[in-house]
Amino acid sequence: DAGITQSPRHKVTETGTPVTLRCHQTENHRYMYWYRQDPGHGLRLIHYSYGVKDTDKGEVSDGYSVSRSKTEDFLLTLESATSSQTSVYFCAISETGPGELFFGEGSRLTVL
Amino acid sequence: SQQGEEDPQALSIQEGENATMNCSYKTSINNLQWYRQNSGRGLVHLILIRSNEREKHSGRLRVTLDTSKKSSSLLITASRAADTASYFCATVPLGGGSQGNLIFGKGTKLSVKP
């Protein structure tokens, strides 16, 4: 299994609070991604990174920010959580841009 | 926007039978990939087929790609109860740049009954 760790794995928070999800990899892969998975929508890309300090927006980036200060860590921040951000969040890594993705186990976030 | 659409949305078969899932997409692609997701787990990569390939095999998996019809199929032969999972196709649109972001479909839920 690829060395990808997501934390926390489960979180319940209240509307308006900030939340940070962490993705840590031990594979030294260049590309890192944050997806959210919702019933009826499949997986949708939030943000991705193609190197340290190099990030870009995905399909559903509104309300989210990311940071990558080290190769191994990719942080996803919800500045002010809303109920619509209740979802399962997956981090993924890739050695090459259009190649195979390795996924973490997911972080289930509930915003009350 | 959704690029790939899997069909059917759900499929229930008996152990030993073959399972076929289809994926249609909208724009030209660099490659197409299939992933499996067991309940409550992350996705696992199964197979990647490039736009210049027509068929690929991996164990009990057979993937075909028809770029003229913008469609792909995943065949699982001699299915087992352990194959019960959701299966997703994902495409890398042509011209997507070096990042080559994958766009996922909504998945087919496969249930294999013992």
Enclosing domain of residue A91:
4-111
For the record, the structure tokens of A60 come out as 């559903």
Report CB contact under 8 Å: B88, A33.
no
- Cα–Cα distance between A109 and A88 in angstroms, integer? 6
- Cα–Cα distance between A26 and A24 in angstroms, integer? 7
Supply the pLDDT for residue B6. 85
Domains of chain A: total: 1
Enclosing domain of residue B89:
4-113
CATH number at residue A44: 2.60.40.10
CB–CB of B90/A98 below 8 Å? no
Q: What is the pLDDT of residues A21-64, one digit of tens each?
A: 999 999 999 999 999 999 888 899 999 999 999 999 998 999 99
Domains of chain B: total: 1
- Cα–Cα distance between A32 and A12 in angstroms, integer? 25
Closest-CA residue to A27 (of A89, A81, A96): A96
Closest-CA residue to B101 (of A103, A46, A97, A52): A97
Chain B residues with beta carbon closer than 8 angstroms to that of A50: 98-99
Supply the pLDDT for residue B3. 65
CATH number at residue B90: 2.60.40.10
Report CB contact under 8 Å: A50, B102.
no
Measure Cα distances from A20 to A3, A11, A79, B43 in Å: 20, 10, 8, 22
Angle (CA) A90 A96 A100, round 5°:
55
Supply the pLDDT for residue A2. 67
Chain B residues with beta carbon closer than 8 angstroms to that of A31: 99
Supply the pLDDT for residue B101. 77
Supply the pLDDT for residue B76. 98
Closest-CA residue to A74 (of A30, A18, A112, A44): A30
- Which H or E run includes B71? strand B71-76
Chain B residues with beta carbon closer than 8 angstroms to that of A58: 101
| E strands in chain A | 4-7, 10-13, 19-25, 31-38, 42-51, 54-57, 64-70, 73-78, 87-94, 102-103, 107-111
- Cα–Cα distance between A15 and B36 in angstroms, integer? 33
Nearest-CA residue of chain B relative to A57?
B101
Averaged pLDDT for residues A107-111: 98
Measure CB to CB from residue A105 to each of B41, B92, B97 and give the nearest one.
B41
Residue B14 backbone zone (phi > 0: left; psi -120 to 50: alpha; other: beta): beta
Q: What is the pLDDT of residues A60-91, one digit of tens each?
A: 999 999 999 999 999 999 999 999 999 999 99
Q: What is the largest CA-CA distance in chain B?
A: 45
Which pLDDT tens digits describe chain B residue by residue (114 residues)? 456 788 899 999 999 999 999 999 998 998 999 999 999 999 999 999 999 999 999 999 999 999 999 999 999 999 999 999 999 999 988 876 545 578 899 999 999 999
- Cα–Cα distance between A46 and A35 in angstroms, integer? 5
